[in-house]
Structure formats: C-alpha cells, structure tokens
Chain A
Amino acid sequence: MIALEGTTARHQLTGAKTAGFDMEVLVGYILLIGVLLSMALIAIGVVWRWLSTGQLGIAYSISGMNLFDFVLTDIRQMFSGGFRPRLFVNMGIAVLMLTPYVRVFASMLYFAFVERNRKYTLFTAFVFSVLTYSLFLR
C-alpha cells in the first residue's frame, strides 16, 4: 500500500486501515495464479496429446473468434464432456489472456470501493472498457 504524501487524511486512514487488504499482494497473486494455471492447462493438453497419439504437435487454427466466443466455445465443450487435449490448450490460452484483464477489473474495484479514489476509478474503468471492447472485436 502506498501511503501518499500530501493526500487527504482519509487516504492516510484507509491506507492504514486496509493493512489487512493489500492490493499489491492481490494483484501479484492474480498474475501468478493466472500464469501458472495457464501453463498447467497447456501442459496437460500437450502431454495428453502426446500420450494418446505419440505426437506433441496439435495443428489447428481458430479464425474470426474473439476471446469471449473462444471462452464460450471452451465452456460449451467442457459441459458436453468434450475433454480433449485441444480443449486444455484452448483453456490455457484463454486463461492467459484473461489474467491481465482480471487484474484490471480487480484494480477498478479496489480504487472504487477501498481507496475511494474517483480519479483512478475512472482511469481504470477506461482501460477496462477499452479492453472489453477490443476483446469483443471480431
């Protein structure tokens, strides 16, 4: 938590009071868990493929899909029991792309509800909206 010099007493107070809630630690863990989970999913996909076919490579491409289509397709496959190496690789890539996105979302909530910093809530909301828009691109 950055205790800012010259900010209002309120910030100082929240800075001290939120000692139990450390935003930087949370952001750090979001990033760490995201990357590790993504690596694990991709590795599972690759190893499974290798065990079942003796080949490591999975050749396929996806076209004209945005991240949300991509995630939805993965989830649908998951529920229809379509567990295949490919699904794990796809999920790994989706998790990787969602990692920074979730980080920004968490920062937005933090600035809005914990630090109650309107300026930075707006900045973060802007970044989040632009990213959401771009992830919906097709």
Chain B
Amino acid sequence: MSFELLFLISVVAGFIGAMSGMGGGVVLIPALTLMGMDIKHAIAISIVSVIATSSGSASAYVRDHITNLKVAMFLEMFTILGALVGAAITVASAQRPLFIVFGLVLLGSWAALFLQRHEGWTPVAHQDAFSKWLQLEGKYYDQAAGETIEYRGARAYFGGPLMFGAGLIAGLLGIGAGAVKVLIHDLVMGLPPKVSTTTSNLIIGITALAGASVYLAAGLIDPGLAAPVILGILVGAFIGTRLLVRLTNQKVRHFFLVVLAILGIEMILRGIGVIQ
C-alpha cells in the first residue's frame, strides 16, 4: 500500500472520527482492511494513532481545567489491565472473529452515541462512601453557561470494573472506545458531560499505550506504515475539530454516524464470510 494512499485514508478517517465523535480508529481499520491489510496490522497501527489523537485533544482540555485528573487516574488502573488482556487476545486470535467483534462494537457504540441525549445532567445527590474516599469531585468553569459547575462522582465501585471492559475493547480492537467510556462516566458515575468526554480523552491515551506495547512486542507495528497513518489521522482530526466548532448542525453529525453504521455492518458480513 502506497504512502500517499495510506495518508489519504488516514486524513479521511481522522476527519470522520472527529466529526462523529467516535475517533479515527473506527473508520481507519475497516478502510485499511478493505485495501487488503491484515486486520491485526490495521489494529496495531490504529492504536498507535489513537495515542496521537487522544493526547493532542486532551492537551487542550487539561489546560482548560475541565478534565478531572483523579477520576482519570483511578479509572486508568482498570483500563490499562483491560487493554493488555484485549491486545493479547487479538494477537492470539484468528482473523474472522475480530471482524465480527469489531462490527458489533462499532454498531453498539454507534447506537450509544446516536441515542445519547445531552440536555439533562442531574448532579449526584448522594455520594457513596467509596467515591468520597477516592475524592472524586471537582469543579470547572463552563464557558457556555458562564458559571462554575461543581460536581461529585459516584458509584466508583461500579465504574472501575466496567472500565476494565472498556479497556479490553480498546486493546482488542485498536480503537479509543471513547463512546463506551463516556457512557460509563455519564450514566454510572454521574459526571457532567464535559468532564466525562474530556476525562475519557485523557484515559484513552494511556489505555492505547498499554495496548500498543503488546502489539509492538508482537512485531505488528510497522513504522513505515505507521508514519503516514499517524500524520494523516492528526491532520484529519485537526480539520474535523475546527469544522465541528463551526458546524453545529446535528444533521452533519448524523450523516457521519450513518457512514459508521454501514462500516459496522460491512465488518460483520466480512467476518461471517458473506462478503470478501
């Protein structure tokens, strides 16, 4: 596969990933496999690019003091273990099951994102003792609302183990699995949407690194192929994020979500062997 082609595919993947909010990996991996790349190599390269995109966007949010470093640190203990296990499974697995799992996870997190409603965040009324012990609270300045929002996280005893699962998916499939992480932050731990998305961004970088270490050791990361992908994904994500600020139209976002749904179905069909 030529450098130019890899670069172009990655720009598009980074762009759609940023526009849809699902991350670059979910487009990159199906696209690379369609071009004839072995799915394990595609996953391994994708997870390295995930480190780049998540660290890049996390850097801005962290400096704005929206990310909660304690929530991130606590949950990272679980996600990295999940990622190590997930990546080890992929290295040992056959190709076809990976296509099927990839398709299913894509459709699942797609549905989560599609159905997500952001209008209401209800602060946690009663913080449990464990979450209190973990000091899972914080505040941030909301620019849109023009006020400082204080919040407390809850049910960390649930959130932690569930994040192992999110890490497992990330390591297994070479994606950020941000939709899964945000869902856990929002629904289980009761964090405000802004805090949950930005904190998930920070967690994704460490989780991807844990997964990438396994793929590197397995010899699946090819620097010559990773180079255009890393550059392309970052360029695409940068353009996508810039456009996203201007385009508040939900329809645009929904259009990209439909593209992702098609990719999910396509991966499942290839895994079953209906299409080649």
Listed in ascending order, the chain A residues whose CB lies under 8 Å from chain B are 1-7, 23-25, 27-29, 31-32, 34-35, 38-39, 42-43, 45-46, 55-67, 70, 86, 89-90, 92-93, 96-97, 99-101, 103-104, 107, 111, 117, 119-120, 123-124, 126-127, 130-131, 134-135, 137-138
Instruction: List the 5 closest A-B pairs by CB distance, nearest first.
Output: A63-B219, A28-B63, A31-B59, A56-B3, A57-B3
**Closest partner residue, chain A, to B5 (CB atom):** A57
Number of interface residues of B (CB under 8 A): 56
Q: Which of A61, A97, A126 contacts B224 (CB 8 A)?
A: A61
Bound Cα distance from A57 to B61, whole angstroms? 34
Does A131 contact B210, Cβ atoms closer than 8 Å? yes
Does A96 contact B219, Cβ atoms closer than 8 Å? no
In the complex, chain A residues whose CB is within 8 Å of the CB of B133: 119
- Whether, in the assembled complex, B81 has its beta carbon less than 8 Å from a beta carbon of chain A, the answer is yes
In the complex, chain A residues whose CB is within 8 Å of the CB of B134: 119
Can you sample 11 A-B contacts with CB below 8 Å? A1-B65, A2-B70, A4-B137, A5-B150, A42-B230, A64-B217, A93-B227, A97-B209, A103-B205, A131-B210, A134-B213
Does A96 contact B60, Cβ atoms closer than 8 Å? no
- Whether, in the assembled complex, B138 has its beta carbon less than 8 Å from a beta carbon of chain A, the answer is yes
In the complex, chain A residues whose CB is within 8 Å of the CB of B234: 35, 39
Does A35 contact B56, Cβ atoms closer than 8 Å? yes
Residues of chain B from 41 to 58 with CB closer than 8 A to chain A in the complex: 48, 51-52, 55-56, 58
Known: A35-B59, A89-B224, A130-B80. A2 touches B138 (CB 8 A): yes
Bound Cα distance from A48 to B191, whole angstroms? 47
Does A43 contact B231, Cβ atoms closer than 8 Å? yes
Does A57 contact B224, Cβ atoms closer than 8 Å? yes
- Whether, in the assembled complex, B169 has its beta carbon less than 8 Å from a beta carbon of chain A, the answer is no
- Whether, in the assembled complex, B100 has its beta carbon less than 8 Å from a beta carbon of chain A, the answer is no
Does A89 contact B77, Cβ atoms closer than 8 Å? no
Q: Which of B58, B80, B214 contacts A127 (CB 8 A)?
A: B80
- Whether, in the assembled complex, B146 has its beta carbon less than 8 Å from a beta carbon of chain A, the answer is no
Contact with A along B205-225 (1 / 0, CB 8 A): 110111011101101011110
Does B206 contact A7, Cβ atoms closer than 8 Å? no
Does A60 contact B223, Cβ atoms closer than 8 Å? yes
- Whether, in the assembled complex, B124 has its beta carbon less than 8 Å from a beta carbon of chain A, the answer is no
Besides the known contacts A62-B216, A67-B216, 10 further A-B residue pairs in the complex with CB atoms under 8 A apart: A2-B69, A24-B63, A24-B65, A28-B58, A32-B59, A35-B56, A64-B219, A103-B205, A123-B73, A134-B213
